[in-house]
Structure 1
Amino acid sequence: PHYLTEDGTSITTQSLGEFVLSTGVDGQEVQARTEPYGDSATAAAISALAFGVSDQRVMVEMDGTVTVDGEVAPEGEAMEFGFDDGGAIGVWRDSGSEKARAVVVVWPDQSTAWITPNGSWIDLRVRWQEATGDREGVLGSDDGDPANDLTGRDGTAGSEDSTEDVVRSWQVSEDESLFDYDEGKTTADYIVDDFPKEVAGPDLDSAAAACEGVPEGFARESCQYDVAVTGDDAFVAAYEDYGTRLAGDASRRSLIEELTTVLTDLGLTGDGGDDDEPVPTGDGIELSPDERSGAESTTAGDTVTADLTGDEVAVYSFEVSEASTLSAFSTDLSCPNEDYVAGEAGYAFFDDSGAVVSGPRLACDDDPSNAEIEPGTYYLKLVGPGTVGVDVNLAPS
């Protein structure tokens, strides 16, 4: 597997077992299980991921099986349900399939993990809401210092040459494991000390042509490595789809800071004072006075869905009683992070003056912008053609 640590250091490891990727913040845990990729004697892959969300557990396997506290997540093409202490999980399945094609885990503070099962491996990216400096594990500390990201469980700083030793120091113990096991198995059964059996370096040049369309940097380098080691070009499509947004890329502190800067420039963050004029993040969806006056009332936390044909729209109003952070989850997450295109199904949020506070977004995308809003009346506008489903989320600022 390839990881980008919290502060942007790239790590490649072929150790087998179960490992703590991130811990140190109460109720926010991430663990990974790695096994040989197919019949390979040299390449390991993430075969399962486990997440601690407050006192509950989520496990996602590479075949798309999803369990919550040991129970298989309910069937359905799109399934979202909340955790006891806040947060939610979204499970998206193809029609007629019991296996997930995409999973999103959301912690109570709106930190997010995106998981894509690919049959033979799993892709992961994590975005923490706050860089605390307290996190540790294979993904390192989120203190802004890349130099200390490769640090063992005992606090000893490692180097590129000692990567495997550092990773193995984060082997999951039976007491801390968040995984489910078949009867008679434990975390110890996944440890293979003599892997990889061959240590010759991969011929990266042989995979250069296959990965030519992947964005330069971490994603292309990882693509070339995986294709060269496994001989399987199935990795190319995944790297092309996600580019640099792979395996922890979204959790890097530098990216979070960059995103915050962009949102501030757009007027979507700030102290909420009179000078914080909401500024649209895109063109294509506007709200008229007549639409505001005819809006249907809803409540934040509810899921609103509309089947819209042609240029039909649906407008909902909701009240905000305290300063809050606004975000939304789509019920059809099939195009994450794609730009909105005018004329396509989508949605946007507006304040009582009709100004955009967040969006527009495609109907098949979440809105993770976390716009800071003050008490008042707000509006959600859905536009067609197509089915648009949105779960409105508010978190106290």
Structure 2
Amino acid sequence: MKAGREKARGAWQLSLPLMLMITAASVGPGVARADAQDLPIPCANFEITYAAKPGEVIAPTDIETNKDSFWVFENSGGNLACGGTGPFTCAGLTVTVPEKDVVHPSTAKTTINGTAAALGEQDQFSLTSIDANDVTQTCKGTYLFHVSSNGGGWGDPHLTTVDGLHYDFQSAGEFTALRDDRLEIQTRQTAVPTAKIPITNEHTGIKHCVAVYTALATRVGSSRVTLQPNPNVEESRKGMELRVNGKLVTLTDSGITLKASSGEQGASIGPAAVGGIDGHIKKAADGAIEIVDARGTQVVVTPQFWNGPNVWYLNLKVYQTSATQGTMGIVPEGSWIPALPDGSSLGPKPESIDERYEQLYEKFADAWRVTDATSLFDYASGTNTATFTLDEWPYNSPESCDVPGQTPVQPTTEAVAQAACAAVQDPKEKADCVFDVMITGHEGFGKSYQIMQAFKPIGTGTWYSPEARPTKPPTHQGGWVELLKKWWWLILLLIVGLLLLLRKKK
């Protein structure tokens, strides 16, 4: 009997590592980002992107893919977006794809180099995998290159366009901040009554009242994401409400994956399959929220609660975006503010303050103001985008910055504001922070700026894929690991049967 128990114990001890191996072999892949020199792609359809800054010079960089397959350019089916017969030009970068090399598979690398093109330009090429036996696999790799930049808005909205213009935009309502074929960002701006009339904005030359961002709506591929306060003030104190396609969700440490619900993802880079990945929503430090799309564009929101007026307000930054339209969009040559939706320019800055006000806060604001048909926000019953619009805000040449039915916030001294913003490093953002604290008396702006500057983006020159994938390339030669992956259930049954047999022999 004792000998039987020892045999059973020995069999169990031997089977435990084997079961652990089976479990490990069946665990899904992990990391979604990888360096350009290390892209172990499994044999499955995938898309990875490479973001470059406008005019950035890329040194020759080899893309080493799965060594168990050869990756060759697919010259049929209309998959080529890069021009020429090779090397190919993608968003200003030269892409050299090697010919199939059966004898020396490790030398089959794609090389990129050159100078990135103008902001917003994007291009792609596709490769098809061929294994060591010269058999075409069922996988296709799509490499997307896009020239990108950063933009954002914070505080009493101080905006920085994707091409670097810094200006104030204080209208009250809902507006398109940025958009392109696969991404759109809309912001809700809410008027803030102040006891003091703010100083003149450096770029616009207009003295005006202020507003803050209080809600955000985004379209990420075919997914719609909103971050809004609960209409009930007491409920809203608990936190902002996050919704995906209108459904209230809870953001956990593991984040939320956005799945594509349609194939309409933009003609310039082709449709995504239903059920594919549009992007991810993730937690960042100190309550910040990060929304990443399938091209690696990062939308970072830092919500903070302001006890005085009982409102949530947001700072917003966008990294690695190729979007060029919106209140944060490109400023046409010779224009003093971003382009209108049709791409037209408002021309140079007018001499008259009244004419500047008319262009910025009437023509430009109304052009980018969302409608009920274009809005991405979720609305409570009986409300719509007009509910959040305050006409004529900010007032032109104001004598006061009052809002009917609301108590104005009180200003503070420059010394208090400087202390609250002491840790803000960027000179422009620090000046914005000091302005915000002085005008509103709310020292919490300093904390929100610190949270915003603490976020570390992916950065350009980094490959990104929305798909998690193995950190090791799969092998086509079989072996124990492949056997375990394929037949783990049968092996598990044999182990259980063996244990039962030993138990019976006791």
TM range (shorter): 0.5 to 0.7
- Match of residue 76, structure 1, among 244, 252, 262: 252
CA displacement at 1:230 relative to structure 2: 0.9
Matched, 1:138 2:327: yes
- Match of residue 281, structure 2, among 83, 90, 93: 90
The one-letter code of the counterpart of 1:73 is: V
- Match of residue 435, structure 2, among 210, 225, 232: 225
2:374 partner SS: coil
Matched, 1:317 2:471: yes
CA displacement at 1:168 relative to structure 2: 3.6
Distance across 2 between alignment mates of 1:146 and 1:219 = 25
CA displacement at 1:57 relative to structure 2: 0.7
Partner residue, 2:224: 57
Q: Deviations over 1:336-394 (max 9, x none)?
A: xxxxxxxxxxxxxxxxxxxxxxxxxxxxxxxxxxxxxxxxxxxxxxxxxxxxxxxxxxx
Distance across 1 between alignment mates of 2:444 and 2:302 = 14
Indicate if the aligned counterparts of 1:219 and 1:244 stay in contact, CA closer than 8 A: no
1:60 partner SS: strand
Partner residue, 1:152: 340
Q: CA RMSD in A?
A: 3.7
Partner residue, 1:185: 383
CA displacement at 1:75 relative to structure 2: 5.3
- Match of residue 211, structure 2, among 12, 26, 44: 44
Output aligned runs, 1:371-390, within 5 Å. none
CA displacement at 1:36 relative to structure 2: 2.8
- Match of residue 102, structure 1, among 277, 288, 299: 288
CA displacement at 1:70 relative to structure 2: 0.4
- Match of residue 33, structure 1, among 178, 184, 188: 188
Identity among equivalent positions (%) equals: 25
Higher strand content, 1 or 2: 1
- Match of residue 118, structure 1, among 287, 290, 304: 304
Q: List alignment gaps of at least 5 residues for structure 1.
A: 95-99, 251-255, 270-299, 304-315, 322-397
The one-letter code of the counterpart of 2:327 is: V
The number of equivalent residue pairs is: 253
Partner residue, 2:115: none
Indicate if the aligned counterparts of 1:141 and 1:148 stay in contact, CA closer than 8 A: no
Output aligned runs, 1:194-233, within 5 Å. 194-196=392-394, 198=398, 205=414, 207-233=417-443
Q: Deviations over 1:316-351 (max 9, x none)?
A: 833289xxxxxxxxxxxxxxxxxxxxxxxxxxxxxx
Aligned CA distance change for structure 1 residues 147 and 208 (closer, same or farther; 3 Å): farther
Distance across 2 between alignment mates of 1:75 and 1:128 = 23
Partner residue, 1:12: 168
2:373 partner SS: coil
Q: Deviations over 1:212-237 (max 9, x none)?
A: 33224221121012112211010011
Partner residue, 1:167: 365
Indicate if the aligned counterparts of 1:43 and 1:230 stay in contact, CA closer than 8 A: no
Aligned CA distance change for structure 1 residues 320 and 53 (closer, same or farther; 3 Å): farther
The one-letter code of the counterpart of 2:472 is: F
The one-letter code of the counterpart of 2:329 is: G
Higher helix content, 1 or 2: 2
Aligned CA distance change for structure 1 residues 224 and 204 (closer, same or farther; 3 Å): farther
- More off after superposition, 42-51 vs 211-220: 211-220
Indicate if the aligned counterparts of 2:176 and 2:187 stay in contact, CA closer than 8 A: yes
Distance across 2 between alignment mates of 1:146 and 1:231 = 37
Aligned CA distance change for structure 1 residues 168 and 209 (closer, same or farther; 3 Å): farther
Partner residue, 1:237: 447
Q: Deviations over 1:123-144 (max 9, x none)?
A: 111123547xxx211012288x
Aligned CA distance change for structure 1 residues 40 and 220 (closer, same or farther; 3 Å): same
Distance across 2 between alignment mates of 1:192 and 1:27 = 30
The one-letter code of the counterpart of 1:32 is: T
- More off after superposition, 223-232 vs 101-110: 101-110
Larger Rg: 2
Distance across 2 between alignment mates of 1:317 and 1:156 = 48
The one-letter code of the counterpart of 2:221 is: S
CA displacement at 1:146 relative to structure 2: 8.9
Distance across 1 between alignment mates of 2:427 and 2:334 = 17
Q: List alignment gaps of at least 5 residues for structure 2.
A: 1-156, 196-208, 230-238, 261-275, 306-311, 351-355, 402-410, 476-506
Indicate if the aligned counterparts of 2:257 and 2:281 stay in contact, CA closer than 8 A: yes
The one-letter code of the counterpart of 2:290 is: V
Bigger RCO (CA 8 Å, 6+ sep): 2
Q: Deviations over 1:92-111 (max 9, x none)?
A: 399xxxxx923221212221
